[in-house]
Structure 1
Amino acid sequence: MAPDARRPRLRIGSAPDSWGVWFPSDERQVPWRRFLDEVSGAGYEWIELGPYGYLPPRPAALLPELRSRGLRASAGTVFTALHHDGVRHWESTWSHVSTVARLAQGVGADHLVMIPAFWRDDRTGEVLEDATLSPAQWRTLTAQTERLSRQVREEFGLKVVVHPHADTHVDGEEAVVRLLDGTDAGLVSLCLDTGHYAYCGGDSVELIETYGERIGYLHLKQVDPAVLARVREERLPFGPAVGLGVMCEPPRGVPDLAPVLAAARRLAEARGSDLFAIVEQDMYPCVPDAPLPIARRTRAFLRGCGA
């Protein structure tokens, strides 16, 4: 066995998002079999499951499709609004989360990526609620996030990782630090999305170096600075911003992924465990033939960065 065979590494993968998939069903999205064929053909071994219902929702149906293409699942994705309290809200949240977690567990995934609630609709831009949480809502959010993370771990053996996301209540540095400082490190970790964090003004390398013990998962993504400037000037919602190409193919945007990957490798080695780094270039909607060439170039670029 080679001396470094057991060294922790980055597990590089991709996601339906990089094929323009945002919804369980949409005529502008590629069929799920085509996504699986192409993500495997682009050189990836790991995938996320994407929106629940896009891929077959039963492990018995999905596992053979993954195995026949040499693919494995890293995580499922859930959407939550944990700053809202109440028994009925918790029950509806848990119904959604447990459904996705059961599928993720059934196909061998280790993680559940949790995206907080949008304060404005990502398609229409309609303002749904105040963009800033009250102190009471922050207390509810942190307590419910811990509760959900604990319950998912106990019932399904999965690690919940919170995904800071544009147009949600957990977006840039201030909100991320507030969430981390207000929650138990043994329960709550982050899915650091380099693109969303840059979109909201954050520095991914600084976050990894400062809060490395709380980084449980990565999404690799870049932002086009010129498009982002327009988005900020016109105060555009995230959906239209994606339509303009705000999330771009590396290495055309920011942040520079080479130092991010280097910091992530140091983190994995310091912890003694592998770290998922999933490419997730928001592209909804896109022409069907666009994703595969981008995916191939992105995989080659990441190999050039040592990943």
Structure 2
Amino acid sequence: MSESKIRIGTAPDSWGVWFPNDPNQIPWERFLDEVQAAGYHWLELGPFGYLPTDAAQLADELAKRDLKLSAGTVFTGFHKGEEQWKRAWDQALDVAGLVSQLGVEHLVVIPDLWRSDATAEVLESRNLDNAEWKKLAAGHDKLGQALLEEYGIKQQFHSHADSHVGTYREVERFLQETDQAFTNLCLDTGHFAYYLGDNVKLMTAYPDRIGYLHLKQVEPNILADVLKNDMPFVEAVALGVMTEPGFEGVPELAPIIEKAAEINPDMFAIIEQDMYGCAIDFPFPIAQRTREHIFSCTQAARIR
């Protein structure tokens, strides 16, 4: 195994935060306190507007807890046509405009889902035709080039359950349709495993396209029911399909972290356990145990 190590962090998602404002979510000040107490140094911004959007205030709040940002997140729907550009760039102006002031070099980009992650409503066809694939790829390359030129930020595309890019073959096609100079992957290990994708196989086949990681596991017995019954992702999350690492979940994280360290020791691996709707006191001990599990199962992980 390589002696290289990658940076491990966490995200608001691991505290059940999906939206900028939700009275049932953990207050942002307590979230930051618990990230520090759980032993992390790096974290993602989460939904824009959850953490402070004033760069100076955010920098101060992070610094007094010895925390730093690894990435921000935006949402896109480029397969729908050119009118989606303004929507994506408006988000980028907010998110990249903020995080670039704090030295962030990555933007995680999540595609629109064909089935709502809030209501489970079917919004459109679950498959793209060839013309939609071309629109999707062209939109992401345009966004990636603009982010790089305007902010020095790299686009990292996140395949997702209930999206048009989820299976191994769909992710592979996305890579083949896009330009490595502007569009690479935030490989979410749980979302990729959700459709039975082999993370290490993809990383081995496309090492130069893996720019960022989200560390996550799925519970295989729950996943079997989800797939058999075509269950919406929001319902699958409520069942616990995204499970606490270190127990019965897949994929095994150590080989993925070690492969990432071989590819690029400066890569971030951000722990994300989808827990929207959980009680406020629930996530903190899980965050502690998850960090301890990762550092006990591999020597290819570092905090800073």
Which TM-score bucket, shorter chain as reference?
over 0.9
Residues paired across the two proteins, number: 297
**2:77 corresponds to:** 81
Residue correspondence of structure 1 range 106-255 to structure 2 within 5 A: 106-252=101-247, 253-255=249-251
Amino acid in structure 1 at the alignment position of 2:159: P
**2:276 corresponds to:** 284
Question: Using the alignment, how far apart are the partners of 1:52 and 1:240 within structure 2?
Answer: 24
SS in 1 for 2:114: coil
- Candidates 87, 90, 115, aligned match of 2:85: 90
CA apart distance, 1:9: 2.6
SS in 2 for 1:278: strand
1:10-53: CA deviation from partner (whole Å, max 9, x where unpaired)? 11000000000000011111000111000111111000000000
Q: Is the 8 A contact 1:8 1:274 kept in 2?
A: no
Identity in percent: 52
CA apart distance, 1:93: 2.1
**2:67 corresponds to:** 71
Matched, 1:42 2:38: yes
Question: Using the alignment, how far apart are the partners of 1:141 and 1:8 within structure 2?
Answer: 35
- Candidates 21, 27, 34, aligned match of 1:25: 21
**1:300 corresponds to:** 292
Amino acid in structure 2 at the alignment position of 1:19: W
Question: Using the alignment, how far apart are the partners of 1:256 and 1:227 within structure 2?
Answer: 17
SS in 2 for 1:83: helix
Question: Using the alignment, how far apart are the partners of 2:216 and 2:125 within structure 1?
Answer: 27
Q: Is the 8 A contact 2:218 2:250 kept in 1?
A: yes
If the length of structure 1 is used for normalisation, what is the TM-score? 0.94
CA apart distance, 1:264: 1.3
Unaligned runs of 5+ in 2: none
Q: Is the 8 A contact 2:111 2:159 kept in 1?
A: yes
**2:50 corresponds to:** 54
Q: Is the 8 A contact 2:110 2:157 kept in 1?
A: yes
1:53-108: CA deviation from partner (whole Å, max 9, x where unpaired)? 0001111110000000000000000000011223x432222111221111111222
- The worse-fitting range, judged by mean Cα deviation, of 89-98 and 222-231 is 89-98
**Cα root mean square deviation, aligned:** 1.2
Runs of 4+ that moved beyond 2 A: none
Unaligned runs of 5+ in 1: none
Question: Using the alignment, how far apart are the partners of 1:108 and 1:248 within structure 2?
Answer: 32
Amino acid in structure 2 at the alignment position of 1:21: V
